[in-house]
Structure 1
Amino acid sequence: MDILPVPDGPAVIACNACRFSKEEREDGAGRRGGAMLAEELARLQAEDPAYAGVAVHAMPCLFACTEFCTVHLRGPGKVGYILGRFTPGEAAARAILDYAARYADSAAGQVPYRDWPDGVKGHFIARTPPAGALVA
């Protein structure tokens, strides 16, 4: 395993090896859902200035293999989140990035529920503490 350094700022890391769905490993064209979601996240982030404060990265396997189309949301000094069970495409990518932009603007990574885009509700899998800290 190689470690690839990236800038330390708010980021969405997409698992580009994730299954297409709970039932299917790939779509009809042989593409994994994670790769499709990662591409859509990168495209939207590059095109929309509202997402300039959030980096988008892809890596193989977040080890959330009982789920599909998973992403990790992280930022320095912030609580992190693993989200999944998305249908790869623009709607999911936009909901993830809309949440990520609010996350980036938050002090500790906590976004009030009333500000969550509908597209991320029900997709949270885990919450992770920031490095060197715990959530009280």
Structure 2
Amino acid sequence: MALKPSASGVAVVACNTCRHSAEVRDDADGKRGGARMVEALRQVAADDPAFASIAIEEMPCLFACQDFCTVHLRAPDKVGYVMGRFVPGEEAAQAILEYARAYADSDWGQVPFKQWPQGVKGHFITRTPPAGFVVE
């Protein structure tokens, strides 16, 4: 494994090796939940030009294995978020991308709770400060 360059703006980085759920790793076709989540995110983003500025990226293992189907939302100079426990599919992808759009419009990554799509509520695992900053 090695590092590779990624998007410089707002990005949703999905773990492509995540389990489908706490109980199930692969689906009936032998695909991991994370791989299905990547597919769903890319499909939803491709179908809606409102998400064109959000990069969909993937990598193996975000080390949040207990929380399955995890994504990391990040952007330069903004607080980042790791979210998980999603059912991989269009509904979750839509909610994640709607949140990412609000996040992109925020000053430093904080989205007011009233703007959160229902599909992300209860899915936050952690927030991460951007390099050189902490939240007051």
TM-score of the two chains, using structure 2 as the length reference = 0.97
C-alpha RMSD of the superposition: 0.7
Letter in 2 for 1:61: C
Question: Which stretches in structure 1 are left out of the alignment for 5+ residues?
Answer: none
- Deviation at residue 106 of structure 1 after TM alignment: 0.5
CA distance in 2 between counterparts of 1:126 and 1:6 reads: 21
The residue aligned with 2:27 is: 27
Deviates more, 1:22-31 or 1:104-113: 22-31
- Deviation at residue 46 of structure 1 after TM alignment: 1.9
CA distance in 1 between counterparts of 2:87 and 2:134 reads: 32
Residue pairs, 1:1-136, within 5 angstroms: 1-136=1-136
CA distance in 2 between counterparts of 1:132 and 1:5 reads: 20
Letter in 2 for 1:67: D
- Deviation at residue 109 of structure 1 after TM alignment: 0.4
| Cα deviations by residue, 1:7-46 (Å, 9 ceiling, x for unpaired) | 2100000000000111101112211000000111011112
What is the percent sequence identity of the aligned residues? 61
SS at match of 2:66: coil
CA distance in 1 between counterparts of 2:23 and 2:110 reads: 32
Letter in 1 for 2:74: R
CA distance in 1 between counterparts of 2:6 and 2:123 reads: 26
- Deviation at residue 47 of structure 1 after TM alignment: 2.1
Report the count of equivalent residues.
Answer: 136
Q: Which runs of 4+ in 1 moved over 3 A?
A: none
CA distance in 2 between counterparts of 1:2 and 1:45 reads: 27
| Cα deviations by residue, 1:77-132 (Å, 9 ceiling, x for unpaired) | 00000000000000000000000000011110000000000000000000000111
CA distance in 1 between counterparts of 2:81 and 2:97 reads: 13
CA distance in 1 between counterparts of 2:89 and 2:42 reads: 12
SS at match of 2:13: strand
